[in-house]
């Protein structure tokens, strides 16, 4: 059943590409990220990304049983996470729309992680279903506005706060850092909360393996010798650069249909 669902998801992704659903956005992002690649190479990257997105979509709709899911998702660097957690200040995990992030969210509580995620409020039916599905797995949601006190409370309780770092931000809510050699308006929240709570900052990115399982790479902790705004910018650049390297290694894993460089510097 799972193999059939994954193949159907792959076909669905391929169909979305053929129909041109946000294809122009994806190709624009690929041109920015891989300017030396040929147009044919970028189209192949885009097609692969759509198929990958389709497979991830199918896994979310038809997830394997809990026990099988735990076996299908392995962690590289779990010892880094345990050492960070042992410091007693909680852990900030910088995540992205990379690989099958939703499976990661569902597996983490099964491994004993007390996880809260800062999310944007989305009103469409699929997002509402997706959020309810997350909550059933034991994950807690915090709104992206007005939840600073709750986010700090998560860390002070010694729990884990996950923040997506790859979404375009408005100038009033983001800072510009380099992403594939171009300025991208990026949330500073991961760096801000890590600094305020003295919590270790890690990056966490799941990578699909050839056998269909997933390897979650945990890296860090990221540190800085700077202070104030310079420290926030330094840490935000470090974790953004870590994401860029993973996207370079696995361009089919990232969410190219998002307009990442929409906000431009003045």
Give residue 152's pLDDT.
97
Local confidence pLDDT in tens for the 266 residues of the chain: 677 888 999 999 999 999 999 999 999 999 999 999 999 999 999 999 999 999 999 998 887 777 788 888 999 999 999 999 999 999 999 999 999 998 888 888 888 999 999 987 766 777 777 777 777 778 899 988 888 999 999 999 999 999 999 999 999 999 999 999 999 999 999 999 999 999 999 999 999 999 889 999 999 999 999 999 999 999 999 999 999 999 999 999 999 999 999 999 98
- Of 148, 130, 147, which is closest to residue 139 (Cα–Cα)? 130
Q: How far apart are CA 181 and CA 127, in angstroms?
A: 32
Give residue 242's pLDDT.
98
Angle formed at CA 41 by CA 38 and CA 43, multiple of 5 degrees = 110
Report the 10 Å Cβ neighbour count for 217: 16
Give residue 266's pLDDT.
84
Give residue 110's pLDDT.
86
257: its two tokens = 């249909």
Give residue 179's pLDDT.
98
Given a contact cutoff of 8 angstroms between Cβ atoms, the answer to whether 51 and 167 are in contact is: no
What end-to-end distance do the CA atoms of the chain give, in Å? 51
Give residue 212's pLDDT.
86
Given a contact cutoff of 8 angstroms between Cβ atoms, the answer to whether 169 and 185 are in contact is: yes
Give residue 71's pLDDT.
87
Give residue 123's pLDDT.
65
Beta bridge partners of 117: 141, 162
């Amino acid at each position: 059943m799972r193999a059939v669902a994954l193949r159907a998801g792959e076909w669905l992704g391929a169909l979305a590409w053929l129909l041109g659903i946000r294809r122009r956005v994806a190709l624009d992002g690929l041109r920015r990220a891989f300017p030396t690649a040929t147009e044919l190479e970028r189209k192949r990257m885009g097609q692969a990304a759509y198929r990958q997105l389709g497979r991830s979509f199918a896994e979310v709709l038809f997830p394997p049983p809990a026990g099988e899911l735990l076996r299908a998702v392995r962690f590289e660097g779990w010892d880094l996470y345990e050492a960070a957690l042992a410091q007693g200040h909680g852990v900030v995990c910088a995540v992205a729309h990379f690989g099958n992030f939703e499976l990661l969210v569902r597996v983490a509580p099964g491994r004993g992680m007390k996880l809260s995620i800062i999310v944007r409020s989305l009103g469409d039916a699929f997002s509402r279903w997706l959020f309810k599905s997350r909550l059933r797995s034991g994950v807690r949601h915090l709104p992206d506005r007005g939840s600073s006190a709750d986010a700090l409370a998560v860390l002070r309780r010694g729990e884990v706060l996950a923040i997506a770092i790859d979404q375009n931000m408005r100038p009033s809510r983001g800072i510009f850092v380099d992403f594939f050699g171009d300025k991208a308006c990026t949330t500073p929240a991961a760096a801000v909360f890590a600094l305020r709570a003295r919590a270790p900052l890690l990056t966490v990115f799941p990578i699909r393996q050839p056998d269909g399982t997933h390897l979650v790479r945990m890296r860090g902790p990221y540190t800085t010798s700077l202070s104030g705004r310079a420290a926030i910018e330094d840490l935000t650049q470090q974790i953004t650069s870590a994401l860029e390297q993973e996207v370079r290694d696995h361009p089919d894993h990232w969410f190219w249909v998002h307009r990442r460089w929409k906000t431009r510097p003045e």
